[in-house]
């Protein structure tokens, strides 16, 4: 028998990676229409203590009766004790999740995926670009950076949504804007209400904010997350302004059933979004033509 196979077959049965941990909902915050932030605590204390993740990673969340969904972790690993997820109501499973109340059980497994390369980002400028719900995984990164502010150089946050109503983490983002150790630029698609005007720095697309960023591109790491259609334009704009493609990281969404490279649904070209991503350098888009 082959050595490699012998090694594989002689392993003892591993901990089941498909088996989630029971958790209880501790808090639910309504962020915007159809968007809620859920906080969870694992029923098993030891899991709570040992929980650690990298910003940009995601979990597989079992919604009782409905099934499993991949959701990015929006809390920062620097703040322990709870796992937070922000979920938009879009379909079968998220609908059921949105009906749950604090105290209800769910089950979670993870964290999965690679996350943003925070280690190599250290010592550089960071430009964070978020569109809509894309702010969720980036919120994790933002707080990670702010809690270790000294390790990073300049930080920019660009955030665009439909309208003020759909701005997520409103209070947090307002307070960020008041800080002087980072710059925030916010945009909205619509400029209809008074609130819209008060909130946004300008009306229009996220891409229009990029020229306003005053950073040395070669010294900067960029983290992008947004709706699938936005990537192409954001990527083009960033390249135009001289950001190196190996320093631009995009977080992608795909259909996922397992989160651990077994179900195949998340394939992007030859890569799996779950184990090779969901964060990819923009360079990959050349190899993975259908990525964006």
Partner 1 sequence: MDFHIERAKVLPKSNLAKFLEGLKNLSTLIAPVKKGDKFIFSEIEKVSDVAVNYTRTILPPKKFLVPYRRERFSYSTDTLQFNKEFKVRDQIIFGVHSCDLHGISILDSVYLKENPDPRYLEIRKRTVLIGISCMPDEFCFCLSTGTAFPDGANWDLFLTDIGADYFVTIGSPKGDEIVLKLRKLFKDIEKKDLYLYKESTSKKKKAFKLEKLPDLERISQLIELEYDSEVWKEGSERCLGCGTCTNVCPTCFCYTSVDVPTLDGKKVKRIEFTTSCQYPYYSLVAGGHYFKPDRASRFKHRYYHKFVGYPYQIEKLGCVGCGRCSAECPAGISIVETINRLRGIDEKELREATEQASSR
Partner 2 sequence: MVRIGIMGLTGCSGCQCEILNCQEALLKMLKRVSINFFPLAQDDNSLEDLDILFVEGSVTTEEDERKVKKGREVSSLLVAIGSCACYGGVQSQRNDEVSLTEMVKAVYGEKGVPVKVSKPRAVSEVVEVDYELPGCPLDKKQFVYTVASLLSGVKPFFPKIPVCHECKLSENECLILKGIPCQGPVTFSGCGAPCTSAGVGCQGCRGNCDFPNFEEMVSLLTQRGLSVEDAVKFLKVFRGYTAKEIKVRGVVDEKGA
Ligand X SMILES: Cc1cc2nc3c(=O)[nH]c(=O)nc-3n(C[C@H](O)[C@H](O)[C@H](O)COP(=O)(O)OP(=O)(O)OC[C@H]3O[C@@H](n4cnc5c(N)ncnc54)[C@H](O)[C@@H]3O)c2cc1C
Q: Tell me if residue 224 falls in helix, strand or coil.
A: strand
Cα dihedral value 190, 196, 198, 204, nearest 10: -20
Beta carbons within 10 angstroms of residue 149's beta carbon: 11
Question: How many residues at the interface with partner 2, by CB under 8 A?
Answer: 8
Kindly state whether residue 197 participates in binding partner 2, applying the rule CB under 8 A: no
Kindly state whether residue 99 participates in binding partner 1, applying the rule CB under 8 A: no
Minimum gap (Å) between residue 23 Cβ and partner 2: 20
**Residues 159 to 198 in contact with partner 1, rule: CB under 8 A:** none
Q: Which of 66, 205, 239, 263 is the binder for partner 2 (CB under 8 A)?
A: 66
Kindly state whether residue 18 participates in binding partner 1, applying the rule CB under 8 A: yes
Q: Which of 43, 90, 120, 212 is the binder for ligand X (CB under 6 A)?
A: 90
- CA distance linking residue 98 with residue 77, whole number of Å: 25
The answer to whether residues 218 and 224 touch, using CB atoms and an 8 Å cutoff, is no
Half-sphere exposure (CA, 13 Å, Cβ side) for 138?
28
Strand duo 220-225 + 248-251: pairing: parallel
Kindly state whether residue 65 participates in binding partner 2, applying the rule CB under 8 A: yes
- Give the residue ranges of DSSP H helices in 89-227: 92-99, 118-121, 135-147, 170-178, 194-199
According to DSSP, residue 7 is labeled: H
Return the one option of partner 1, partner 2, ligand X, none that residue 290 interacts with (CB less than 5 to 8 A, by type): partner 1
Interaction pattern, residues 78-107, with partner 2; x per rule: CB under 8 A: --------------xx-xx--x--------
Q: Which of 90, 148, 193, 216 is the binder for partner 1 (CB under 8 A)?
A: 90
Question: How many residues at the interface with ligand X, by CB under 6 A?
Answer: 21
Q: Over the Cα atoms of the chain, what is R_g?
A: 19
- CA distance linking residue 260 with residue 242, whole number of Å: 35
Span interacting with ligand X, options 76-84, 88-96, 216-224, 229-237, rule CB under 6 A: 88-96
Return the one option of partner 2, partner 1, ligand X, none that residue 289 interacts with (CB less than 5 to 8 A, by type): partner 1
Interaction pattern, residues 149-168, with partner 2; x per rule: CB under 8 A: --------------------
Establish whether the linkage from the previous residue to 141 is cis, with ω within 30° of 0.
no
Give me the phi and psi of 124, to 5 degrees please.
-125, 170
Return the one option of ligand X, partner 2, partner 1, none that residue 22 interacts with (CB less than 5 to 8 A, by type): partner 1
Binding footprint of ligand X on the chain (CB under 6 A): 58, 69-72, 86-88, 90-95, 133, 136, 253-256, 278
């Amino acid at each position: 028998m082959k050595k490699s196979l012998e090694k594989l077959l002689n392993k003892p049965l591993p901990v089941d990676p498909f088996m989630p941990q029971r958790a209880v909902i501790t808090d639910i915050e309504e962020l915007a229409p159809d968007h809620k932030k859920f906080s969870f605590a694992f029923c098993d204390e030891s899991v709570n203590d040992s929980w650690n993740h990298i910003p940009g990673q995601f979990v597989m969340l079992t919604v009782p009766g409905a099934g499993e969904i991949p959701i990015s972790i929006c809390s920062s690993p620097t703040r322990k004790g709870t796992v937070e997820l922000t979920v938009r109501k879009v379909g079968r499973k998220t609908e059921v999740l949105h009906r749950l109340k604090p105290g209800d059980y769910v089950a979670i497994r993870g964290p999965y995926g690679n996350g943003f390369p925070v280690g190599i980002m250290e010592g550089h400028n960071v430009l964070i670009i978020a569109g809509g719900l894309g702010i969720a995984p980036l919120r994790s990164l933002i707080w990670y950076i702010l809690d270790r502010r000294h390790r990073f150089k300049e930080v920019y946050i660009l955030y665009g949504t439909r309208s003020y109503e759909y701005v997520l983490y409103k209070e947090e983002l307002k307070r960020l804007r008041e800080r002087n150790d980072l710059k925030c630029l916010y945009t909205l698609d619509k400029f209809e209400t008074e609130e819209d005007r008060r909130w946004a720095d300008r009306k229009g697309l996220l891409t229009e904010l990029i020229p306003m960023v005053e950073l040395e591109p070669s010294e900067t790491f960029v983290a992008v997350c947004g709706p699938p259609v936005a990537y192409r334009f954001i990527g083009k704009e960033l390249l135009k302004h001289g950001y190196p493609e190996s320093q631009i990281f995009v977080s992608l969404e795909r259909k996922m059933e397992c989160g651990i490279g077994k179900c195949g649904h998340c394939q992007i070209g030859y890569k799996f979004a779950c184990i090779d991503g969901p964060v990819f350098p923009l360079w990959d888009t050349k190899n993975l033509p259908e990525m964006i």
